[in-house]
Structure 1
Amino acid sequence: MVEFLKERQNGKSEDDDVEDDDDELEDDETEKKPLKTTFELNDTLYAEAELEDTDTVFLWLGANVMLSYKLPAAISLLRSKLEAAEASLTNVISDLEFLREQITVMEVNIARVYNWDVKKRREKRELEAREGGKGTAEKDSG
């Protein structure tokens, strides 16, 4: 369940990142103004840049792969990634709901088995007490 929770959180942040990138590219395409961006120089060091008249963007695809795209192609790629991420997030959320239901069912079943065991032990003690009482009464009369 912890893995599903982590996956849900990662899916939400991925959705936000892709949405931000998509919005930025759409603004750049429609307004043709300089594109302001932040890029990573090191793990903890970032720099800001302003790109003039951009019609090409470079997107990280993962596994250390970066490709060059024209703006319309980049926007369509980001939209398809966003749709896939939203679908994945929906699946993870439904899986989490199913797991919560199953946990509740298991807790109820455990309680039922425990109560059944308590009842059986009580019946056994009562039976032993009755048989023990009969045994002492027979010895006294004998």
Structure 2
Amino acid sequence: MEGDSKVVESKPHLGIPEAVFVEDVAKYLKEQGSCTCEEALKKLEENYQKYKLMEVNLLQKKQRLKQQIPDLKSSLDIVKHMKSIEGTDTTMTTNFFLSGALHAKAKIPPTKEVCLWLGANVMLSYSIEEALGVLNKNYTTAISHLDSVNKDLEYLRDQFTTTEVMLARLYNWNVKQRRAAKATTNGSD
């Protein structure tokens, strides 16, 4: 049981590896085996670059979601309006986006079906109720994913900070070790 909970806790943010903060650099290097300070710095730099790549991917995902959410909300509002006029003689007047700044005005009589654009050149016909269900699900999922991406970006920023601090600590430790070695060498001459 204890092992299972560790697996779940180890990947809370899309598998973003946790940056390690080390108090005692000398002890850390010994625990790494025959790892030199330069090798440890190189590994940290590689992790830093991986974090940068993850950040780019998450920012792109965030941008897509921020564009998708208003479109889903608009579609949901339109289908809700169509549901409200279902069974009446009221026509709905709307402007259809064709391309660029080109729109077409249309009068839509009450209907029991709508077509939803699902992407990848796929459009499906749904009843009004089914369309509301699909759009509600997609809208709440998109909002949930945006929240998750924001949390992952926040977590990633913490990993950046920890990695930057560790890079500075390792570099400074290495400089002190070289100065001490140089002072010992100069003192023995």
| TM-score, L = length of structure 1 | 0.81
Instruction: Find the counterpart in structure 1 of residue 59 from structure 2.
Output: 5
2:40 maps to which residue?
none
* Structure 1 unmatched runs, 5+: 133-142
Q: Could you list the runs of 5+ residues in structure 2 that have no partner in the other structure? A: 1-54
The alignment's C-alpha RMSD in Å is: 1.9
Cross-structure match for 2:127: 70
| C-alpha displacement of 1:11 | 0.9
Q: Distance in 2 between matches of 1:96 and 1:36?
A: 42
1:115 matched to 2:172: yes
CA shift, 1:108, in A, is 0.7
- Matching of residues 4-83 of structure 1 within 5 Å: 4-31=58-85, 33-42=90-99, 45-83=102-140
Aligned residues: 132
From 125, 149, 158, give the equivalent of 1:101: 158
Give, in angstroms, the shift of residue 93 of structure 1. 1.7
Q: Which structure shows the higher helix fraction?
A: 1
Equivalent residues of 2:85, 2:110 under 8 A apart? no
Which has the greater radius of gyration?
A: 1
Distance 1:54 1:77 in 2: 18
- Greater RCO, 1 or 2 (C-alpha within 8 Å, sep 6+): 2
Percentage identity across paired residues of the two chains: 36
